[in-house]
Amino acid sequence: MAKHDIWTSIAAFYEPTLEMVELWTWGIPLFVTVIAVMFMLSEKRQGPLTVRSLIGSIFPREQYAHPSSRVDIWNGVLLLAIGFPLIGVMAINGLAIAGNIAAHASHELGVRDPMIHSAWAMVAIQFIVYFLSVDFAGYWVHRWCHTVPFLWNLHKPHHTAETLTPWTLFRQHPIEFLILNAIPAMFGGVVTGLVLYATGTTMHPGTVAAVGIQAYAAFFIVDVFSHVHVPVSYGWLNRIVLAPVMHNLHHSLELRHRDKNNAVLLTVWDWMFGTLYLPEKGETWRWGLNEEEFGEANPHRTVKAFYLEPFTSVWAYLRQAWSRQGEHEPHRDGQQLSSDSPS
């Protein structure tokens, strides 16, 4: 392969990520402005409002200089370099899946007459179905990451964060990153594809644009601001939309907050399935995993530990599972093996 072809392939590999990063940079002024407003409205602000105090509130040194934050930043750089391009290479695209599902269903079951003729109605229905199905699946995948031991060992590094900055959003183990992105997109694609077939429609270009705008807006309005140190509340909307304070609490090490507020965008799923926790006014908490794995005992204080420890934990879990299975395997004579049974 010629050197030119190699560089062309590399450029194609990173093009989607570079375009995404370019879009995100436009949101940086928005982030700084909103955090500044949060600070000015905060009851905790003391002393005169100066440029120095404003910068210190937006980028607090104790947050960004913390070992936990350094792991977040390095992992974020690695994810942007490897993880996001792989998502594109694997073609985990819910809208493409939807189109393929609809086309396959039409081929196997026959083409249906269109039920929707208005363009705006088509875009609205397709967008709502895709958005709700992806967010619903995202809630359950996130919840399973807390309740299924195998998945928890991969998700656990995200919760050993002892600070919250926008970089904490990228505090995901690569395997967990793929799972969290692949399953909701695939589920949303299947559901939307079935709706496309049922309504006799194809994916409208307006739907693709709407999904792109929604993803960009959600990244800054929800994802980024859910991982900042200022626990902003949306009031009664906390029951519907994931306000920063709701996910801020999700990172709490306090036992009463454990496994609460698993929503990705809509907290209505937490309300429906019993995992919603609305913080009291003035309620405080610390960020981290638990009392035993906090501070110097944090198992992910370095990038190396962040990447390797989940593998050792998963391996230990699998060995225990195989051991328990072996203890309950029946003898040839039909008797049950127990842990103290002779071999």
Q: DSSP states of 31-68 as a string?
A: HHHHHHHHHHH-TT--S---HHHHHHHHS-HHHHTSHH
pLDDT digits (tens, 9 = 90+) for 267-297: 999 999 999 999 998 899 999 999 999 989 9
pLDDT of residue 18: 65
Rounded Cα distance, 48 and 58, in Å? 16
What are the structural domain ranges in the chain?
1-59, 62-312
pTM: 0.82
- Among 150, 179, 176, 136, CA closest to 273: 136
Rounded Cα distance, 92 and 220, in Å? 22
Rounded Cα distance, 83 and 152, in Å? 20
Rounded Cα distance, 303 and 67, in Å? 10
- Name the DSSP letter for residue 112: P
Q: How confident is the model at residue 33 (pLDDT cuts 50, 70, 90)?
A: low
- Per the prediction, the chain carries an average pLDDT of 82
Rounded Cα distance, 199 and 192, in Å? 10
Q: How confident is the model at residue 340 (pLDDT cuts 50, 70, 90)?
A: very low
pLDDT digits (tens, 9 = 90+) for 131-164: 999 999 999 999 999 999 989 999 999 999 999 9
Rounded Cα distance, 230 and 228, in Å? 6
- Among 301, 269, 333, CA closest to 135: 269
pLDDT higher at 53 or 128: 128
Q: Which amino acid is at 109?
A: L
- Among 290, 285, 124, CA closest to 207: 124
Is there a contact between 337 and 326 (Cβ–Cβ < 8 Å)?
yes
pLDDT digits (tens, 9 = 90+) for 57-111: 677 788 888 989 999 988 888 877 776 655 554 445 788 889 999 999 999 999 9
Q: How many CB atoms sit inside 10 A of residue 17's CB?
A: 19
Is there a contact between 98 and 224 (Cβ–Cβ < 8 Å)?
no
- DSSP code string of 299-312: TTSSHHHHHHHHHH
Is there a contact between 162 and 289 (Cβ–Cβ < 8 Å)?
no
Q: How confident is the model at residue 179 (pLDDT cuts 50, 70, 90)?
A: confident
